[in-house]
Homo-oligomer: A and B are copies of this chain.
Amino acid sequence: MTVELISVGTELLLGNIVNTNAAYLAEQCARLGLSCFYQTVVGDNAGRLAQILHTALSRSDVLILSGGLGPTQDDLTKETAAGVMGMALTRDEHTAKRLQEYFSRRKLELTENNWKQAMVPEGAIVIDNENGTAPGIIMEKEEKRVILLPGPPGELIPMFENAIAPYLAGAVPGVIHSQTVKLCGIGESKAETMVADLIAAQSNPTIAPYAKTGEVHLRITARASAEKEAKKLIKPVVKELKNRFGMNVYTTDEAVTLEQAVVDLLLANHLTVTTAESCTGGLLSARLTGVPGVSEVFKSGQVTYSNKAKHKLLGVKKPSLDKYGAVSENVAREMAKGAALASRADVAVAITGIAGPDGGSSSKPVGLVYIACRVRGKTKVKSYHFTGNRNKVRENSVVAALTLMRHCILEYYSEVTFR
């Protein structure tokens, strides 16, 4: 079964917003085992939208439209799609009641144009919108399906998850199941080379590598008659990937982020953590504190941007700053030590580097970063040479720090040694 995505909205054509809906829907459809060959963006224009719909219906089985379901005159996705499908619009009393409740609960006035959102194509399946006013719509006619979703991601995503994904899963023969093996501390090309033979030989399940900043995610997708069968197909592949990538695998759970994995490791070993950041300026602590429940392990962190602050707050020795410079292995080590002693945390991570655009030299170029991690008195310092702009250098530093923290904690509690 083939699916085609059509995003409706002049704001997309003007580049006012990035089309994250299309990426989200494309990924979800791929997971459901649907093939998608085309995505189109068109403005809030009935003639052009109708033409796009005719073309799409001639080449795809399922069309998923997003946007243009609002209450104003500009919003004409529903009217146009119903017209192309030859369906008349009729008032849906259930939706009318939902709208009334929605507005009264928020003490908002329901104006005349809002009733437009209670009109639905005759015979269509209506999906309640838990996070807004416009209902979702599914139209079915002669093997073709046209699905209309509201544009705001906060409405589209829950509606897709709760109603559209199960609907589409029911329409696809068999089930699709996928699992993700997430790697850190290994480059994209190296990881891809290490699974090239598996990818070349694959049919079911398939393996697809996704490169993230400092991480590689390998998604394994299987198709079978039942979920249990699909999981059975995936299991040996996960095992094989774990064998090949060993400690570089930080999770096999789609929902777990690298910072979550690090926090989980701290929690499991009853360790507290502190941060001492120079060039990243708080990005690492911000990422750690993005994990709900982090307060059990993270009590405080320091951003020591100036040399004076490194000396005063972390006890970095002035001769070290003078002799080696702030961006050096010695200073990174002293920062971690000082942070651990000041906060009495079990784990202390320190980052010092040159994020650019200025401040680089031939011996210490932009992108040079030292990261130290101290676990209960035992310290490891690594140097990195990142490329890209200030933002990229800082982002890569944070992922490298999380990776190093994970490695150091694992090393401390086992006999594993990382390069």
Count class of interface residues, chain A: 35 or more
A415 at the interface (CB under 8 A from B): no
Question: Is B208 a contact partner of A292 (Cβ separation < 8 A)?
Answer: no
A71 at the interface (CB under 8 A from B): no
Question: Is A300 a contact partner of B303 (Cβ separation < 8 A)?
Answer: yes
Residue of B nearest to A27 (CB): B15
Residue of B nearest to A18 (CB): B23
Q: Which of A36, A41, A42, A279 has the most CB of B within 10 A?
A: A41
A302 at the interface (CB under 8 A from B): yes
Q: What 5 A-B pairs come out closest when comparing CB atoms?
A: A281-B289, A282-B282, A15-B27, A15-B26, A282-B285
Question: Is A18 a contact partner of B15 (Cβ separation < 8 A)?
Answer: no
A305 at the interface (CB under 8 A from B): yes
Contacting residue for A281 out of B285, B302, B394, CB 8 A = B285
A-B pairs with beta carbons under 8 Å apart, 17 shown: A12-B23, A13-B37, A14-B26, A15-B23, A18-B20, A37-B45, A37-B48, A38-B40, A282-B285, A286-B394, A290-B391, A290-B394, A295-B306, A299-B305, A299-B308, A300-B302, A301-B302
User: How many monomers of this protein are in the complex?
Assistant: 2
A210 at the interface (CB under 8 A from B): yes
Mark A residues whose CB is within 8 Å of B. Answer: 12-20, 22-30, 36-43, 45, 48, 52, 55, 154, 208, 210, 275, 277, 279-286, 288-290, 292-295, 298-306, 308-309, 313, 343, 356-358, 388, 390-391, 394
Contacting residue for A37 out of B36, B43, B306, B308, CB 8 A = B43
Residues of chain B contacted by A295 (CB below 8 angstroms): 305-306
Contacting residue for A300 out of B29, B37, B293, B309, CB 8 A = B309
Contacting residue for A39 out of B13, B23, B304, CB 8 A = B13
